[in-house]
Chains A and B, each alone.
Chain A
Amino acid sequence: MSFLPKVRRLLRIRERSPRDQAARDVEAEIAFHLEERTDDLVREGLPREEAAARARAEFGDLEAARRSLPGRAEVTERRRRLGEWWDGVRWDFRHALRRLRKSRAMTVTAVLSLGLAIGAAAAIFGVAEPVLVRPLPYDRPGELYTVWNTYPGWRGHEVLGSQWAHIPLSYPEYRELRARLVEGASSPGRARGDAGLAVESTGGADAPVRELAIFGEREMALTGRGEPRRVRVGLASASLFPLLGVEPSEGRLLGPEEEGAGAPRVALLSHGTWRDRFGGDPEVSGTRIRLDGRAFTVVGVLPPGLHVPGTAPWATPAPPREVWIPVGADGSELHPDSHDYEAIARLAQGRTGEEAVAAVAPILRGDRDPEVRGARLEPRVRGERGEVRRGLLLLLGAVGLLLLIACANVATLLVARVRRGEREIATQAALGATGPRIARLLLAESALVGLLGAAAGVPVAWAGRALLVGLAPPELAVAHLGSADLRFLLVGGALGLVTGISFGLLPAWTARRPDLRAALASGGRGVTGGAGGGGRQGRGRIRGRPGLQRGLVAFQVALSLVLLIATGLLARSLAARLRVDHGFRAEQLTTLGLSLPGERYPTREAVSTGLDRIVRELGTLPGVGAVTGASALPFSGDGGSSSFEVEGREVGPDAKKPEALRRAVLPDFHRTLGIPVLAGRTFTAADREGAEGVAAVSRSMAERFWPGGSPLGERILWNDLPWRVVGIVGDVRWEGLEEEVKPAFYLPLHQAPDRRAPTLVLRPTPGAEIGAAAIRRAVWRVDPALPAEGIGTVRALVSRATRVSRFRTLLVTVFAATALVLAAVGVFGVTAHAVGARRRELGIRLAVGADRGRLVREAVAREAPGIGAGLLLGLAGATSAAGLLGRFLFGVDRHDPATYAAAALLLGAVALTASGIAARRAARIDPMEVIRVE
């Protein structure tokens, strides 16, 4: 065979250094020349001594040659070796390709397993990378901190306890802080501060806070451009965008005086809104838009990708706001107790959060006790990325497990290959291939599998990423994070190579010291025993023990079980969320967002009259059973809490005022939403402006503030007015399924100050449906200029409250299903191989009358301990890793035994079935054929 010498040379491993080799070669070459010349001269008749001297003399400058030649020779030698190495690599890969092609089923399985896992990993990475790795899109984001009021007295409070450290600022608080910390610093004293002199004051030149800004948010009706609709409007102090280091992409930002009471009605468009709703018009500045009926002038467009999310712990992820207007321009009262604005501070260079707290806290506290009020600063980065980050880390964890499972799968298959191909390997070893050399061959094979897997992963990654971006609820704010670039494909390729090579190491390791003679002598049948993981019998084998394969299977089973259990827990959490009693019935209720603009409804009376007419008109629609409304609906994200006092109970000046959710509602609100009236009454049409102020309280509010007694007839003080409690109603989870029930009080909408933008609720008569067009026409019959959009259902609000967790559960379920398939493939492959390796034995046993079914059962029984060990390992792993899921679980214990047991049973059953099918197929042996072959 002509390739033998080549193989032998290629397989040569130990070599001298190129320099030594070159020096030796030159010396030998010169010596040969001199000897040949001497011989020739001797033949011509010269005595040998003389001939040798003559040859040397003829050669010329011998010493110079000895000095200069080796340098060149060394270069040549190095190049030759590189070429040989490269030839070797190419030979390895050609050979590997041939081997892979020979066992196509195994190759396809391995490549698809890897491709699936790599594709999934790359897709997740493509989405996660901007969130996890890229910095916030602001100028020097590390200097940005969120500033909170703290109310230490609230700690442990059942209603407010979770909020005590994250109370937003009010506008007056912001003004005060900024005046003392920032504007004080730009006084003439500043130069001294810059020179590094310490100034003894909380403000002034030494202030640790360089700039301060606040922002808030409210939903408003946008009209005057396309279909009227409700948009999320950001409220910004004039300092916000300069603080973030944002440049307008068109027009200008807010001027320094454009904020506060009487702020000019100017608006900035988000880049997306400008592009989608204003056609990317470069002349957009000067355009008039209407928000809640008030005219605003567009003055600029914000840059793309700007997103200033709220970072309170209870803030739900939301897409970027569509319009920004100055704080106060929405007409809201900027009361010192209206803690509506999240504050961002940019610290001066080199200053720490602690220093800033020390400067901020005394100002916010004023003359109150430190036990009552304080301040807190949190790095912006952590807050802004927190929620999405946690979700993505969960996904990355899942995808990492999947990748490991796929790797184990490939390794299992490759180890099986090594064992089957051992005669070939032994042949190569006999030709002089050393262990490392054979390992290299096998590595080439697994690297090739890895690369092919990566290639198969590319379409999976593209499709997966598109799916992810498309399916992700807008709250996850995934789509605006920027598009995928080449990087995530590179990551996929790198993953393929790394996984291929690292998991090729295992089979390569098993092949490093082949027992040649035995393998050759056994004629490649190799394995005759191989039972029970012992492997004593098969001395002719390379050390690819079934024990190793079964270890890999156990590993795979364990990882799959972890994923399955995680899925089970998430699914049960989802189910629990969907089961939660939220305190109202959502069935069939249609909602309609209204806002009555100030120009046409200038007074509260005008608003009330207008509302009444709309409600009455809607009530005449066929199929409408009841019409009511409220300042905010449950789960809508609107509405806040208010502090109040119980009349007759003295509250010290420093003590905390009690706080509860406050909602203004129309008559029949509670009955329509199925909120039970437990005592007294709710509101009637008679509860209007001018009549006595009345209130209804929730059950938990009654129990908390009137323990053992009844609030009926008592009066609470809110907004400096008394409100007599006339009823007690059931509790509602206003803020979401996972939130605790909080005390709430209700006021008649027609008595409350904020009645301009209620959401109406329509209940159809049984069996009827209410069309959106009919609703709109009814509204327009009353006022043709009123935006009548925002028509939806209460059910949609409820479903929106669970869609993030539904999405999360869906993704993890997909991973777990894939893991299950991969684990089944792994077990199948190992069983099939184990049975296949015992063909001869089985054939003989069949020939002497053994029962085929029994042989299959035996084969399955041999795999059972590995699967069992994997299950145990997986249970242990899931138990210790379940903590990481903690945040995402709801209403289910993270060590829920039923989930664990069900997952283990399912996986065990799937694995044993796979094993059984494989064994049955492999045992379909014709005994005669086997024996004849032997």
Chain B
Amino acid sequence: MNDESPSLLKGTLDVMVLRALSGEPLHGYAVTRWIRRRSDGHLDVDDAALYQALHRMEERGWLESEWGRSESNRRAKFYRLTPRGERELTRQSRSIRRYARALLSVLAPEPA
């Protein structure tokens, strides 16, 4: 694991996974790659935690899965957002954005 990457804020893994899956269906490894690439390598997801999240969200009906073939022609389990998952993505990203804005304004230097 990369020591320099910031530790993930609690509760943000789900929304990132949902975002990763908002395009085409991806398998778990592709999700980690997607997050790493989008964060310019700053965020590194704990793989075990990622699969917990995928299965949990599938159980909740946010995701559904299907077995297919990867680019390397291996059998892989692809995840896809359900309509409920899409709604969840919208809801969570909105609240995180609001949180981030608030956090940033708290952290901003006092205006002189």
How far does the alpha carbon of A32 sit from the alpha carbon of B65 in the complex, in Å? 15
**Structural contact, B51 and A65, CB atoms closer than 8 A:** yes
**Structural contact, B72 and A39, CB atoms closer than 8 A:** yes
Interface-forming stretch among A22-30, A125-133, A835-843, A878-886? A22-30
Q: Is B42 engaged at the interface, CB distance under 8 Å to the other chain? A: no
Q: Is A60 engaged at the interface, CB distance under 8 Å to the other chain? A: yes
Q: Is B10 engaged at the interface, CB distance under 8 Å to the other chain? A: no
Chain B residues whose C-beta falls within 8 Å of the C-beta of A33 in the assembled complex:
27-29, 47, 51
How far does the alpha carbon of A174 sit from the alpha carbon of B77 in the complex, in Å? 89
B48's contact among A25, A62, A72, A75, by CB below 8 Å, is which?
A62
**Structural contact, B48 and A32, CB atoms closer than 8 A:** no
Q: Is A64 engaged at the interface, CB distance under 8 Å to the other chain? A: yes
Known: A32-B70, A69-B51. A58 touches B77 (CB 8 A): no
**Structural contact, B77 and A32, CB atoms closer than 8 A:** yes
How many chain A residues touch B (CB < 8 A): the figure is 24
For residue A32, which residue of chain B has the nearest CB?
B76
A-contact 0/1 string along B1-42, CB 8 Å cutoff: 100000000000000000000000001110000000000000
Interface-forming stretch among B52-60, B83-91, B93-101, B103-111? B52-60
**Structural contact, A60 and B70, CB atoms closer than 8 A:** no
B28's contact among A29, A58, A62, by CB below 8 Å, is which?
A29
Known: A36-B70, A37-B29, A76-B55. A64 touches B75 (CB 8 A): no
Known: A60-B48, A61-B48, A62-B48. A32 touches B58 (CB 8 A): no
Chain A residues whose C-beta falls within 8 Å of the C-beta of B74 in the assembled complex:
32, 35-36
**Structural contact, A72 and B55, CB atoms closer than 8 A:** yes
Chain B residues whose C-beta falls within 8 Å of the C-beta of A37 in the assembled complex:
29
Q: Is B112 engaged at the interface, CB distance under 8 Å to the other chain? A: no
**Structural contact, A65 and B56, CB atoms closer than 8 A:** no
A60's contact among B47, B56, B67, by CB below 8 Å, is which?
B47
How far does the alpha carbon of A39 sit from the alpha carbon of B48 in the complex, in Å? 19
Q: Which residues 38-78 in A have Cβ within 8 Å of B in the complex?
A: 39, 58-62, 64-65, 68-69, 72-73, 75-76
Chain A residues whose C-beta falls within 8 Å of the C-beta of B52 in the assembled complex:
65, 68-69
Chain A binding surface, main DSSP class: helix
Known: A28-B77, A72-B56. A36 touches B48 (CB 8 A): no
How far does the alpha carbon of A35 sit from the alpha carbon of B28 in the complex, in Å? 12
Q: How far is the CB of A12 from chain B (nearest CB, A)?
A: 13
How many chain B residues touch A (CB < 8 A): the figure is 23
Q: How far is the CB of A384 from chain B (nearest CB, A)?
A: 60
How far does the alpha carbon of A65 sit from the alpha carbon of B74 in the complex, in Å? 21
Chain A residues whose C-beta falls within 8 Å of the C-beta of B58 in the assembled complex:
72, 76
Q: Which residues 642-674 in A have Cβ within 8 Å of B in the complex?
A: none
Q: Which residues 473-510 in A have Cβ within 8 Å of B in the complex?
A: none
**Structural contact, B47 and A32, CB atoms closer than 8 A:** no
Chain B residues whose C-beta falls within 8 Å of the C-beta of A25 in the assembled complex:
67, 77
How far does the alpha carbon of A36 sit from the alpha carbon of B76 in the complex, in Å? 10
**Structural contact, B47 and A36, CB atoms closer than 8 A:** no
Q: How far is the CB of B35 from chain A (nearest CB, A)?
A: 14
Chain A residues whose C-beta falls within 8 Å of the C-beta of B64 in the assembled complex:
80
Chain A residues whose C-beta falls within 8 Å of the C-beta of B46 in the assembled complex:
60
For residue B45, which residue of chain A has the nearest CB?
A60
For residue A80, which residue of chain B has the nearest CB?
B64
How far does the alpha carbon of A69 sit from the alpha carbon of B56 in the complex, in Å? 9
How far does the alpha carbon of A791 sit from the alpha carbon of B72 in the complex, in Å? 104
**Structural contact, B55 and A32, CB atoms closer than 8 A:** no
For residue B2, which residue of chain A has the nearest CB?
A58
**Structural contact, A32 and B51, CB atoms closer than 8 A:** no
How far does the alpha carbon of A375 sit from the alpha carbon of B1 in the complex, in Å? 101
Q: How far is the CB of A894 from chain B (nearest CB, A)?
A: 68
**Structural contact, A58 and B47, CB atoms closer than 8 A:** yes
In this complex, the member of B48, B49, B67, B75 whose beta carbon has the largest number of chain A beta carbons within 10 angstroms is B48
B27's contact among A32, A39, A61, A68, by CB below 8 Å, is which?
A32
How far does the alpha carbon of A39 sit from the alpha carbon of B27 in the complex, in Å? 16
Chain A residues whose C-beta falls within 8 Å of the C-beta of B29 in the assembled complex:
32-33, 36-37
Q: How far is the CB of B8 from chain A (nearest CB, A)?
A: 12
How far does the alpha carbon of A355 sit from the alpha carbon of B52 in the complex, in Å? 76
Chain B residues whose C-beta falls within 8 Å of the C-beta of A28 in the assembled complex:
75, 77
Chain B residues whose C-beta falls within 8 Å of the C-beta of A30 in the assembled complex:
51
Known: A32-B29, A36-B70. A65 touches B76 (CB 8 A): no
Chain B residues whose C-beta falls within 8 Å of the C-beta of A62 in the assembled complex:
48
How far does the alpha carbon of A39 sit from the alpha carbon of B29 in the complex, in Å? 12
In this complex, the member of B27, B47, B70, B74 whose beta carbon has the largest number of chain A beta carbons within 10 angstroms is B47
For residue A39, which residue of chain B has the nearest CB?
B72
**Structural contact, B48 and A76, CB atoms closer than 8 A:** no
For residue B46, which residue of chain A has the nearest CB?
A60
For residue B64, which residue of chain A has the nearest CB?
A80
For residue B47, which residue of chain A has the nearest CB?
A59
**Structural contact, A29 and B51, CB atoms closer than 8 A:** yes
Known: A32-B27, A32-B77. A72 touches B47 (CB 8 A): no
For residue A73, which residue of chain B has the nearest CB?
B55
B-contact 0/1 string along A601-621, CB 8 Å cutoff: 000000000000000000000
**Structural contact, A75 and B28, CB atoms closer than 8 A:** no
**Structural contact, B59 and A72, CB atoms closer than 8 A:** yes
Chain A residues whose C-beta falls within 8 Å of the C-beta of B65 in the assembled complex:
76
**Structural contact, B75 and A69, CB atoms closer than 8 A:** no
For residue A61, which residue of chain B has the nearest CB?
B48
Chain B residues whose C-beta falls within 8 Å of the C-beta of A32 in the assembled complex:
27-29, 70, 74-77
Chain A residues whose C-beta falls within 8 Å of the C-beta of B48 in the assembled complex:
59-62, 64-65
Q: How far is the CB of B2 from chain A (nearest CB, A)?
A: 10
Q: How far is the CB of A198 from chain B (nearest CB, A)?
A: 71
For residue A30, which residue of chain B has the nearest CB?
B51
Chain B residues whose C-beta falls within 8 Å of the C-beta of A58 in the assembled complex:
1, 47
How far does the alpha carbon of A61 sit from the alpha carbon of B67 in the complex, in Å? 24
How far does the alpha carbon of A61 sit from the alpha carbon of B47 in the complex, in Å? 9
How far does the alpha carbon of A39 sit from the alpha carbon of B74 in the complex, in Å? 12
Chain A residues whose C-beta falls within 8 Å of the C-beta of B28 in the assembled complex:
29, 32-33
In this complex, the member of B46, B51, B74, B77 whose beta carbon has the largest number of chain A beta carbons within 10 angstroms is B51
How far does the alpha carbon of A332 sit from the alpha carbon of B46 in the complex, in Å? 104
How far does the alpha carbon of A866 sit from the alpha carbon of B66 in the complex, in Å? 55
How far does the alpha carbon of A710 sit from the alpha carbon of B75 in the complex, in Å? 115
B-contact 0/1 string along A727-756, CB 8 Å cutoff: 000000000000000000000000000000
Chain B residues whose C-beta falls within 8 Å of the C-beta of A76 in the assembled complex:
55, 58-59, 65
Q: How far is the CB of B101 from chain A (nearest CB, A)?
A: 32
Chain B residues whose C-beta falls within 8 Å of the C-beta of A29 in the assembled complex:
27-28, 51, 76-77
Chain A residues whose C-beta falls within 8 Å of the C-beta of B47 in the assembled complex:
33, 58-60
How far does the alpha carbon of A30 sit from the alpha carbon of B76 in the complex, in Å? 10
Q: How far is the CB of A53 from chain B (nearest CB, A)?
A: 14
Closest 4 A-B residue pairs measured CB to CB?
A60-B48, A72-B55, A59-B47, A36-B29
A/B interface sample: 19 pairs, CB < 8 A: A28-B75, A29-B28, A29-B77, A32-B70, A32-B74, A32-B77, A33-B27, A33-B51, A35-B74, A58-B1, A61-B48, A65-B51, A68-B52, A72-B55, A73-B55, A76-B55, A76-B58, A76-B65, A80-B64
Residues of chain A whose beta carbon lies under 8 Å from any beta carbon of chain B? 25, 28-30, 32-33, 35-37, 39, 58-62, 64-65, 68-69, 72-73, 75-76, 80
- Given A33-B51, A59-B48, A72-B59; 20 other pairs, CB 8 A cutoff: A25-B77, A29-B27, A29-B76, A32-B28, A32-B29, A33-B27, A33-B29, A33-B47, A35-B74, A36-B29, A36-B70, A60-B47, A60-B48, A60-B49, A61-B48, A64-B48, A65-B48, A69-B51, A69-B52, A76-B58
